[in-house]
Amino acid sequence: MRNAEDFSHASRITHHASRIMHYICLIIIIIISLTSKSMADVHHGISFYDTFPGKIALTFDDGPDPNITPQILDILKENNIKAAFFVSGKHADKYPEIIKRTVREGHTVGNHTYNHINMKKSDPDTILKELAMTEKSVNKALGYDYEFKYIRPPWGEYNDSVEKLIFASGKELILWQIDSEDWRNLGKSWTIDTFNYESQKGGVAVFHDTCQETPEALMEIIREIKLKFLTVDELISEKYSKKNPVLIYFNNKPAGNNCILINNLVLMSVSFFSKETGINFIHDYNKKEVIFAGSNYRYSITGKEAFISAEYLVKDFSLKMIENDKNINFYYPSIFLNGIPLYKKSFIYKDYIYILAKDIEQGITLNGESNKELKPVESSGLLYIPVCSLLELKGNKSNIIDISLP
């Protein structure tokens, strides 16, 4: 018969094997997710640079704490405000009842790693382990698998690799615009003054439900603040919502959902712009960039489409924008060569007109001298040659450009 020590040893082996299989499965999920990313992916995170004038979402990091978190929950309940709590896994293990109350009262729980690690200085395996341990702690406290959506790196320390890892895990990166600096522990007045100064731009506010002065400062802030309280979910919905798309046109045709407004910035569907102009980009899905003629352009993903800032298109592709009180109309110039239309066979890039190489007779003398230093540009496997600069067409102010070449 096997003795107790044998059974204990076998139990330990089984336990370790189970943990190893758990992490292998996690890594496989990440790899599958990374290799299957496409333009249809939706990333609805919040960066340090977003703005939400007149609106605010409260978030709390590092808890739960047995003394401070319940006070904050009381204040939020009294004022009918929902917040997001980015919890530390090791604290969730100690205070499961507070986790239960947080979720029961309608607040969101986010992942702040188990040991409050610096994700920027950590390897992927460590980050995944920390996030998985926190999820396990929260799930154990609740008695079921909680749907984690949001991750906040401790201290806001992250880089492109961390961001990719978070997105690949199916979660969203949530940063902030308003730092109350309650973590400095310089007193209630310091926290309130700092918050009031920072909150002018609106957005996500970060507090810590581990700081003694935070509940009292929070009460006064809520009482005096003039901003509208929203949840992180609602801010994200507002950031990525399609506002008045029927008021945006392209060459006098309604752009519909091919254009969106985010924080009053116009974004245009990459595929829509390519279809309308014949200009095709190379996509770098990992970096969320499109590349054209060696230049990289960042894009945002919402719905099932990638959107590029219209500012890039106006600046580098001579897209014209006419805006009035009722609508925005974008125009892309129609280019003719010796009176022959070159629709989707030519384009303007960085103030130079490029024409499909096969449409230009060999041995032709091109206008201008400066274009001799320019290289041909490839788009969708076709070669385009620079023929003249917009500066050489000083008299042209319309959306029709007719180039005369011998």
Residues recognised as catalytic: 61, 208
Phi and psi, residue 131, nearest 5°: -65, -40
Burial of 85 (0-12, 13-18, 19+ CB in 10 A): buried
Cα–Cα distance for residue pair 50/61, rounded to 1 Å: 20
Cα–Cα distance for residue pair 59/177, rounded to 1 Å: 11
The number of CA neighbours under 13 Å toward the Cβ of 183 is: 11
* Sequence letter at residue 287: K
